[in-house]
Chain A
Amino acid sequence: MTDIAIEIQGLRKTYGELVALAGLSLAVARGEVFALLGPDGAGKTTTMRLLAGILAPSGGSARVLGLDVFRQAEGLKRRIGYMPQRFALYGDLTVAENLRFFASIYGVPRAERLAREAELLEFSRLGPFRDRLAMYLSGGMKQKLALACTLMHSPEVLFLDEPTAGVDPVSRREFWRILYRLAGQGVTLFLSTPYMDEAERCARVAMLDRGGLALCGTPGELKAGLRGAILEVIAEPPREAKARLAALPGVRDVHIFGERLHVWLETPDAEATVAAALDGLTLIALRRIAPGLEDVFNALAAGEGEA
């Protein structure tokens, strides 16, 4: 039992007629980096908020660190951290004051607070800005400060709801560097993300769909579970190519990634048909590729995810 950090069983949340979460069951091991994926409205934020103890469930149970989230919330609050989608800092307080405030609310003793503050400022590289008002920080720095605020009390489990949404790629990379370091320290990370490349970095991934669990496993397992094959096609003009390919028998779905097309084939041996269909267009590249999580996600969205 002790190696399980989060255990959810049949968790439900409804708002009148609207079902936000329709019986979700999951288990996350201690020290695991676990990501929730899914389209908007799939129930990711609802799950996060339920686990953080902000929402009351309509049914089901959830245990974090062996404690009942809904009945033993008070004991749990000190041991978990939650960073909502839009983490709000006090813009009119400085970086150091924000850290100090959250530390004091959690009752972190002074000596420990100072050490923690120095450590977090150092590894978030916010040190030079410690006396700057939070409202004057850049988006990426704000996000790092938000993370630092939720880490002041050294939580054992950290819930992060789309922590890098709207953050530039460089800051995202740095943010992940911090997350890995936390994971290395044994902190369980439970996060949701709209970015597939981030999901690939996680130990395990759960894909939500319409309030329920559609898929769960390591990124490798999920990708291996995808039926059929993925062809990468680069052709000019891409829109015309997409239209032609989508109409082909044996093609289940076509998605555009920048200038490339990902063609999801029912059977791997349809490559010739694809090349023929593009006759008359400028074909720059056509090759079989290993499916990415993005492809699994798209397949799921197309209603064919169950492998």
Chain B
Amino acid sequence: MNLHRILRLMKKELIQIRRDRRILAFLFVVPVVQLFLFGYAVSTDVNHVAMAVLDEDRTAESRALIRRFTASGYFDQVAYLSGQREIDALLDAGRAALVLRVPRGFGHALARGRGAEIQTILDGADSRMARVIAGYTNGVLRVYGGEIVQTRAPRARLPAVDGRVRVWYNPELKSVYFMVPGVLCMVLFLITMLMTALAIVREREIGTLEQLVVTPLSAGELMLGKTLPFLLIGLIEIVLTLLTAILIFRVEVAGSIPLLFALSALFLMTSLGLGIFISTISKTQHEATLSSFLCFMPFILLSGFIFPVENMPAAIQGVTYLIPLRYFLEIVRGIFLRGVGMDVLWPQVIALAVFGIAILSLAAARFSKRLG
């Protein structure tokens, strides 16, 4: 190992990156665009649910209930129906996600102090959204029911379980808080893996790799010289993502930022290792890009970035343990949202270190073999 040679190779690499406008754009625009996409456009928050109302009761009580819904802020009343036949057409056309039907006799039953029923019909096509809407609906009804009991029977001591949910870590349940750490992981992963693979394959494609083989440069020096610049760039990407998240999205980082950097560097062993590995199986930059995305998709889907791991079938959950990105995501979310440190994150850190060392050494062995 000759440090001077590695540094020269790194310097050459950085000069080349600096001169390539497309790569610069990729490095500095992608993280910001991804943050905006996942922060705003791909918001998983449910607001302004289109609600249709079928009030067959037409009493003060039924109108009070409907007002509860519209005043909650979650529901927008988009239609007032006059008969049950209209429900189908409305849901089919997707003009409403929720139909609230108050049957005749609702107000009368309440006035008599008896239990009253209403019907809510949900469009379950988007199951996740339907679950959220059902939750909101129950919330509105629970508050309304509680108040009726209070006004009708102020002194009654009802044996009831009063469950109140308090959300910690992200009290406003804004998906952007949840997404920012994810985007950071995704951007870091994609950019470092893809760029490393491309940087090596490009030299193979234009023939300079063969040139380097003739020089005294060893496989190890070559590999370090080609990957260390991207380690540096990876860390710059984190700074960039953090700045955007903090300055534009007003996301606060609950935990230690130095720890975030240290563990990101640990994760980079995995992504740089995968990049080197992909470079050994790709002849052209085109192939390297395709291979990177082939690797990227399952990593993203199975890491819990978009779909929570807990919602996956048991067999698939087992597979997620083989996805290093999963651990990194847990670490970043832990530091970002919960402000936890090594005392909590150590199992993930160990898993990440094991994967990182394994992937990097496998890739390095393959790289040296292919070169020799």
**Residues of A near any B CB (own CB < 8 A):** 52-54, 56, 74, 77-78, 80-82, 84, 86-93, 97, 101-102, 104-107
Minimum Cβ distance to chain A for residue B222 (Å)? 10
Question: In this assembly, does B362 line the interface, its C-beta being within 8 Å of a C-beta of chain A?
Answer: no
Contact flags (1/0) for B349-372 with A, using CB distance below 8 Å?
000000000000000000000001
The total of Cβ contacts below 8 Å across the A-B interface reads 59
B214 interface neighbour in A82, A90, A107, Cβ under 8 Å: A82
User: When chains A and B are docked, how far (Å) is the Cα of A88 from the Cα of B16?
Assistant: 15
B206 surroundings in chain A (CB, below 8 A): 88, 91
Question: In this assembly, does B211 line the interface, its C-beta being within 8 Å of a C-beta of chain A?
Answer: yes
B215 surroundings in chain A (CB, below 8 A): 77, 102, 105-106
Instruction: Known contacts A77-B216, A89-B208; decide if A104 and B5 are in contact (CB<8 Å).
Output: yes
Least CB separation from A91: chain B residue: B206
Q: Are A93 and B214 in contact (CB under 8 A)?
A: no
User: When chains A and B are docked, how far (Å) is the Cα of A74 from the Cα of B210?
Assistant: 15
User: When chains A and B are docked, how far (Å) is the Cα of A80 from the Cα of B216?
Assistant: 10
User: When chains A and B are docked, how far (Å) is the Cα of A84 from the Cα of B215?
Assistant: 13
Q: Are B217 and A105 in contact (CB under 8 A)?
A: yes
For this complex, into which size category does the number of interface residues on chain B fall? 20 to 34
Stretch among B7-15, B278-286, B298-306 lining the A interface: B7-15
Instruction: Known contacts A77-B216, A78-B216, A92-B20; decide if A104 and B211 are in contact (CB<8 Å).
Output: no
Question: In this assembly, does B212 line the interface, its C-beta being within 8 Å of a C-beta of chain A?
Answer: yes
User: When chains A and B are docked, how far (Å) is the Cα of A89 from the Cα of B206?
Assistant: 8
Mostly, the A contact residues are loop
A-B contact list, 18 entries, CB within 8 Å: A52-B214, A53-B213, A54-B214, A56-B372, A77-B216, A78-B216, A84-B207, A84-B211, A87-B207, A87-B211, A88-B207, A88-B210, A92-B20, A104-B5, A105-B5, A105-B215, A105-B217, A106-B216
- Across the A-B interface, give the 4 residue pairs with the lowest CB-CB distance, nearest first: A88-B207, A104-B8, A88-B208, A82-B214
Q: Are A92 and B212 in contact (CB under 8 A)?
A: no
A52-B214, A54-B213, A88-B211 given; 19 more Cβ-contact pairs under 8 Å: A53-B214, A77-B216, A82-B214, A88-B207, A88-B208, A89-B208, A91-B206, A92-B15, A93-B12, A93-B15, A93-B16, A101-B8, A102-B215, A104-B8, A105-B9, A105-B212, A105-B215, A105-B217, A107-B2
Q: Are A107 and B211 in contact (CB under 8 A)?
A: no
**Residues of B near any A CB (own CB < 8 A):** 2, 4-5, 8-9, 12, 15-16, 19-20, 206-208, 210-217, 372
B210 surroundings in chain A (CB, below 8 A): 54, 84, 88
Least CB separation from B12: chain A residue: A101
Q: Are A105 and B208 in contact (CB under 8 A)?
A: no
Q: Are A105 and B207 in contact (CB under 8 A)?
A: no
Minimum Cβ distance to chain B for residue A48 (Å)? 11
A74 interface neighbour in B4, B16, B213, B216, Cβ under 8 Å: B216
Minimum Cβ distance to chain B for residue A133 (Å)? 8
Q: Are B216 and A104 in contact (CB under 8 A)?
A: no
User: When chains A and B are docked, how far (Å) is the Cα of A92 from the Cα of B212?
Assistant: 17
Minimum Cβ distance to chain B for residue A113 (Å)? 11
A86 interface neighbour in B12, B16, B207, Cβ under 8 Å: B207
Q: Are B12 and A107 in contact (CB under 8 A)?
A: no
B213 surroundings in chain A (CB, below 8 A): 53-54
User: When chains A and B are docked, how far (Å) is the Cα of A97 from the Cα of B18?
Assistant: 14
Least CB separation from B18: chain A residue: A92
B217 surroundings in chain A (CB, below 8 A): 105
A56 surroundings in chain B (CB, below 8 A): 372
Minimum Cβ distance to chain A for residue B35 (Å)? 30
Q: Are B12 and A90 in contact (CB under 8 A)?
A: yes
Q: Are B216 and A105 in contact (CB under 8 A)?
A: yes
User: When chains A and B are docked, how far (Å) is the Cα of A86 from the Cα of B207?
Assistant: 7
A88 surroundings in chain B (CB, below 8 A): 206-208, 210-211
Q: Are B16 and A105 in contact (CB under 8 A)?
A: no
Minimum Cβ distance to chain A for residue B61 (Å)? 76
B4 surroundings in chain A (CB, below 8 A): 104, 107
Minimum Cβ distance to chain A for residue B170 (Å)? 45
B207 surroundings in chain A (CB, below 8 A): 84, 86-88
Minimum Cβ distance to chain A for residue B362 (Å)? 23
A78 surroundings in chain B (CB, below 8 A): 216
Minimum Cβ distance to chain A for residue B296 (Å)? 26
Least CB separation from B7: chain A residue: A104
A92 surroundings in chain B (CB, below 8 A): 15-16, 19-20
B19 surroundings in chain A (CB, below 8 A): 92
B216 surroundings in chain A (CB, below 8 A): 74, 77-78, 105-107
User: When chains A and B are docked, how far (Å) is the Cα of A81 from the Cα of B211?
Assistant: 10
Q: Which residue, of B2, B210, B372, has the highest number of chain A Cβ atoms within 10 A?
A: B210
User: When chains A and B are docked, how far (Å) is the Cα of A87 from the Cα of B211?
Assistant: 8
User: When chains A and B are docked, how far (Å) is the Cα of A82 from the Cα of B207?
Assistant: 13
Q: Are B208 and A90 in contact (CB under 8 A)?
A: yes
Least CB separation from B16: chain A residue: A92
Least CB separation from A56: chain B residue: B372
Minimum Cβ distance to chain A for residue B256 (Å)? 39
Q: Which residue, of A80, A93, A105, has the highest number of chain B Cβ atoms within 10 A?
A: A105
Least CB separation from B207: chain A residue: A88
Minimum Cβ distance to chain B for residue A167 (Å)? 17
User: When chains A and B are docked, how far (Å) is the Cα of A78 from the Cα of B210?
Assistant: 15
Minimum Cβ distance to chain A for residue B85 (Å)? 69
User: When chains A and B are docked, how far (Å) is the Cα of A107 from the Cα of B206?
Assistant: 24
User: When chains A and B are docked, how far (Å) is the Cα of A117 from the Cα of B80?
Assistant: 85
A90 interface neighbour in B2, B16, B372, Cβ under 8 Å: B16
Minimum Cβ distance to chain B for residue A4 (Å)? 22
User: When chains A and B are docked, how far (Å) is the Cα of A92 from the Cα of B16?
Assistant: 6
User: When chains A and B are docked, how far (Å) is the Cα of A106 from the Cα of B372?
Assistant: 18
A105 surroundings in chain B (CB, below 8 A): 5, 8-9, 212, 215-217
Minimum Cβ distance to chain B for residue A239 (Å)? 40
A89 surroundings in chain B (CB, below 8 A): 208
Minimum Cβ distance to chain A for residue B195 (Å)? 15
User: When chains A and B are docked, how far (Å) is the Cα of A89 from the Cα of B211?
Assistant: 9
A54 surroundings in chain B (CB, below 8 A): 210, 213-214
